[in-house]
């Protein structure tokens, strides 16, 4: 089986993890890597002697490659991904896909015209724990989904080029859209910048879905706790996914409130149900390795990625609406059809 020849642009804090995975996977060969910081290449080059290193993205774009991985600051995603697609290469671009909806739409258009794979790094869509939770939702074991809430918190890493909403929330937005298989009709978002003017360190987002389901997302890089947690409340059962607790990553609670006719008041009586707690077995593997492997399979087989350009568009549409609400002090922003 011929290996997929890869060039990577951006090998910084997160990019180095992509480089490691694409170098280790048997189906790929990293030919060239680019980073503007000379310290990055000098630090990593000894560990990847087979990789050619450069500080010029044009060398990557012009190389004989099958695919380009873009892991640069979000403001550069559009131009680099576009150039790579136009040069006939498949593209893996980190989240957020772009910073403007029209740019993302352009990338989708170009990828279709060129017949090339466009995949967005929505990592949590490949997480075995999230996929196990999705199985419970799809089997209706939780019943009707009432609401869900997620927290993605830490002390650092503080960004300058994007706020906490754009840095952290794509993960939880993509998971909410995947679990509910629909898009919100309205969003609200509030946040505040404490460390740098105009760059929000914390944001509280609420997504309103058809049928009344609500998703609340709290993101911050200015918090004493490291939290990566998602709670889903259904009419039959409830579930908690905790990415920081590998031994009990997913818990299913047979808890709820049951209603029955109350003939004395001609209304309903409510009873609290306390059942068992189930900890499903999750066959764990590194989510990033699964994501990278999926990209290689799509390139080789001509398949559409799970987190393709359209998935990136859906997440970006929500992000843009949240940003508008944030700038308006939390005013509701409707999303069109």
What average pLDDT does this structure show over 47-72? 97
Q: For residue 257, what pLDDT is reported?
A: 78
Q: For residue 260, what pLDDT is reported?
A: 61
Q: Which of 272, 233, 253, 231 is nearest to 146 (CA)?
A: 233
Q: Is the predicted pLDDT of residue 26 greater than 80, yes or no?
A: yes
| Segment holding 315, helix H or strand E | helix 309-327
Structure tokens belonging to residue 127: 């997480």
Q: For residue 337, what pLDDT is reported?
A: 66
CA 274 from centroid of its chain's CA atoms: 33
Q: For residue 144, what pLDDT is reported?
A: 97
Phi, psi of 269 (to 5 degrees): -105, 145
Give the architecture-level CATH label for domain 4-116: 3-Layer(aba) Sandwich (3.40)
| Exposure on the CB side of residue 186, measured as CA atoms within 13 A | 10
Split at pLDDT 50, 70, 90, the class of 1 is confident
Higher-pLDDT residue of 272 and 124 is 124
Q: For residue 56, what pLDDT is reported?
A: 97
In this predicted model, what pLDDT tens digit does every residue of 154-177 receive, in sequence order?
Answer: 999 999 989 999 999 999 999 999
Q: Is the predicted pLDDT of residue 239 greater than 80, yes or no?
A: yes
As a whole number of angstroms, the distance between CA 163 and CA 96 comes to 12
Starting from the edge strand earliest in sequence, which strands make up the sheet with 90-94, in order? 52-54, 28-34, 4-9, 67-70, 90-94, 118-121
Q: Check: CATH 3.40.640.10 for 125-287+317-334?
A: no
For all residues of the chain together, what is the average pLDDT? 95
Q: Is the predicted pLDDT of residue 29 greater than 70, yes or no?
A: yes
In this predicted model, what pLDDT tens digit does every residue of 2-22 receive, in sequence order?
Answer: 899 999 999 999 999 999 999
In this predicted model, what pLDDT tens digit does every residue of 194-209 receive, in sequence order?
Answer: 999 999 999 999 999 9
Structure tokens belonging to residue 172: 């939880």
Q: Which of 190, 253, 237, 239 is nearest to 218 (CA)?
A: 190
What average pLDDT does this structure show over 108-118? 98
Q: Where in the chain is the domain with CATH 3.30.360.10?
A: 125-287+317-334
In this predicted model, what pLDDT tens digit does every residue of 285-333 receive, in sequence order?
Answer: 999 999 999 999 999 999 999 999 999 999 999 999 999 999 999 999 9
Q: For residue 258, what pLDDT is reported?
A: 74
Q: Is the predicted pLDDT of residue 74 greater than 70, yes or no?
A: yes
In this predicted model, what pLDDT tens digit does every residue of 211-225 receive, in sequence order?
Answer: 999 999 999 999 999
- DSSP string covering 74-138: GGGHHHHHHHHHHTT-EEEEESSS-SSHHHHHHHHHHHHHHT--EEEE-GGGG-HHHHHHHHHHH
Q: For residue 186, what pLDDT is reported?
A: 98
**Do 19 and 29 contact (CB within 8 A), yes or no?**
no
3-state DSSP assignment of residue 313: helix
What average pLDDT does this structure show over 117-126? 99
As a whole number of angstroms, the distance between CA 55 and CA 123 comes to 27
As a whole number of angstroms, the distance between CA 134 and CA 179 comes to 6
- DSSP string covering 153-204: EEE-PPPSSS-HHHHHHHHHHHHHHHHHTS--SEEEEEEE-SSBTTB-SEEE
Q: Where in the chain is the domain with CATH 3.40.50.720?
A: 4-116
């Amino acid at each position: 089986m011929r290996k997929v020849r890869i060039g990577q642009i951006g090998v910084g804090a997160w990019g180095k993890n992509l480089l490691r995975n694409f170098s280790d996977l048997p189906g790929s060969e990293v030919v060239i890597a680019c980073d503007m910081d000379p310290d990055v290449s000098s630090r990593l080059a000894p560990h990847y002697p087979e990789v050619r290193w450069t500080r010029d993205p044009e060398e990557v774009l012009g190389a004989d490659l099958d695919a380009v991985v873009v892991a640069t600051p979000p403001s550069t995603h559009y131009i680099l991904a576009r150039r790579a697609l136009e040069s006939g290469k498949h593209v893996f671009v980190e989240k957020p896909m772009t910073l403007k909806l029209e740019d993302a739409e352009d990338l989708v258009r170009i990828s279709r015209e060129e017949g090339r794979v466009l995949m967005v790094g929505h990592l949590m869509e490949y997480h075995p724990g999230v996929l196990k939770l999705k199985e419970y939702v799809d089997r209706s074991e939780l019943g009707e989904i009432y609401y869900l809430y997620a927290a993605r918190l830490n002390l650092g890493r503080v960004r300058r080029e994007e706020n906490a909403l754009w840095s952290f929330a794509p993960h939880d937005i993509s998971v909410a859209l995947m679990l509910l298989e629909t898009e919100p009709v309205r969003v609200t978002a509030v946040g505040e910048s404490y460390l740098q003017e105009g760059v929000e360190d914390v944001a509280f987002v609420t997504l309103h879905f058809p049928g009344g389901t609500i998703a609340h997302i709290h993101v911050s890089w200015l918090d004493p706790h490291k939290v990566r947690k998602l709670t889903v409340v259904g009419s039959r059962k409830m579930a908690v996914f905790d990415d920081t607790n590998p031994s009990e990553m997913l818990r299913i609670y047979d808890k709820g409130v049951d209603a029955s006719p109350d003939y004395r008041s001609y209304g309903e009586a409510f009873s609290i149900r306390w059942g068992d707690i189930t900890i499903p077995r999750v066959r764990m593997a590194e989510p990033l390795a699964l994501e990278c492997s999926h990209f290689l399979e799509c390139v080789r087989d001509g398949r559409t990625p799970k987190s393709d350009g359209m998935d990136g568009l859906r997440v970006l549409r929500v992000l843009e609406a949240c940003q508008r609400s944030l700038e308006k002090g939390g005013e509701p922003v409707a999303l069109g059809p």
